[in-house]
Amino acid sequence: MGKPFNTRDIIIRNVSSGKTKRSEKYVPSFFFMAASLSIITSIGIVLTLVFDAYHFFSKIPLRQVFGTKLAPLSPTPSFGILPLINGTIITSIIAMFVAVPIGLTAAIFLSEFASENTRKTLKPIMEMLAGIPTIVYGFFAYSFVTPLLMQLIPNLGAKNALSPGIVMGIMIIPLVTSLSEDAMNAVPNSIREGALALGSTKLEVTLRVIVPAAFSGIISSFILAVSRAVGETMIVAIASGSSKKFTLDITESMQTMTAYIVEFTSGDAGSGTIGYYSLYAVGLILFAFTLFMNLLAQYISRRYREEY
């Protein structure tokens, strides 16, 4: 028979030893520090972008910045940003032309028409598309889609806006599908059954009841898709080339904001040159735009959500 436990003693020893007390005191502050790192990261992003972009904007007149001539490496450099914005918008529009119709109809199919089993098999495969690294899509665009399109459009350049736009759209399909499907799934079954009981076909229920009810979620999925397309880098860096010409011709090479950053840093951008600072100016515009889109998407899905 050993000594019987004396619970009271153990508690008193633990509490008065200070060991527990100390860890109880310092542990929360450690976790708080970890949590605040995410805020520090955001502040860091804004500060780096703003500081170096400031160097850029203080040296280059605004009239030149919003011009169409971009030639960062020429002896008389010019930093018009419009060709980059133009390239970004055009490739994103092409991507949306692919992603919105296919993504939305696939979401409607999965959420409203497909049987439970079909859904269970198809959804993970769709998600596989989302899990493929973008560099792989870039390779696919350049080595498969562009040569394929060249057979259809003879004057298509080896680097062009069309092929990366299409592939970017394909990349975004799973995003549109899964977010829209979530929105449609959130519409309660009672509403669906009510409409069916009135004699509507499934298509009518979908188009007149479910889609309107899930509209805010669907729209915000589109906005997030635009934001993804604008921020997408590797596909356009590989397949869209680095022409800095201001053009609306999608068969020609054009450069997006993201591709400009990648091209310039992988080359020799000496720190302190205007070309180096221009990266941060472009980055700042890119950051502001995607942040705006993300906030807008959050606002829409929160503000216009139908509560059931």
Cβ pair 260, 87 in contact under 8 A: no
End-to-end CA distance of the chain: 65
Least gap, CB of 192 to another protein (angstroms): 14
Instruction: Write down the residue that tokens 């635009």 correspond to.
Output: 226
Residue from 62, 125, 152, 197 in contact with another protein (CB under 8 A)? 125
> Which CB sits closer to another protein, 75 or 303?
303
Q: Rule CB under 8 A: is residue 17 a binding residue for another protein?
A: no
Q: Rule CB under 8 A: is residue 37 a binding residue for another protein?
A: yes
Q: Rule CB under 8 A: is residue 34 a binding residue for another protein?
A: yes
Q: Rule CB under 8 A: is residue 224 a binding residue for another protein?
A: yes
Q: Rule CB under 8 A: is residue 232 a binding residue for another protein?
A: yes
Q: Rule CB under 8 A: is residue 18 a binding residue for another protein?
A: no
Question: Within 13 Å and on the Cβ side, how many CA atoms surround 160?
Answer: 23
Report the C-alpha gap between 221 and 261 in whole angstroms: 27
Residue from 3, 4, 9, 24 in contact with another protein (CB under 8 A)? 24
Would you state the structure tokens that stand for residue 64, as one six-digit string? Answer: 């030149």
Touching another protein, residues 57-96 (CB under 8 A): none
User: 7-17 and 19-59 helices cross at what angle (nearest 10)?
Assistant: 30
Residue from 105, 153, 299, 302 in contact with another protein (CB under 8 A)? 105
Cβ pair 233, 255 in contact under 8 A: no
> Which CB sits closer to another protein, 95 or 262?
262
Q: Rule CB under 8 A: is residue 286 a binding residue for another protein?
A: yes
Instruction: Write down the residue that tokens 């995003």 correspond to.
Output: 175
Residue from 85, 213, 237, 250 in contact with another protein (CB under 8 A)? 237
Number of H helices, E strands in the chain: 15, 2
x/- mask, another protein, residues 165-184, rule CB under 8 A, reads -----x--xx--x-------
Report the C-alpha gap between 3 and 219 in whole angstroms: 71
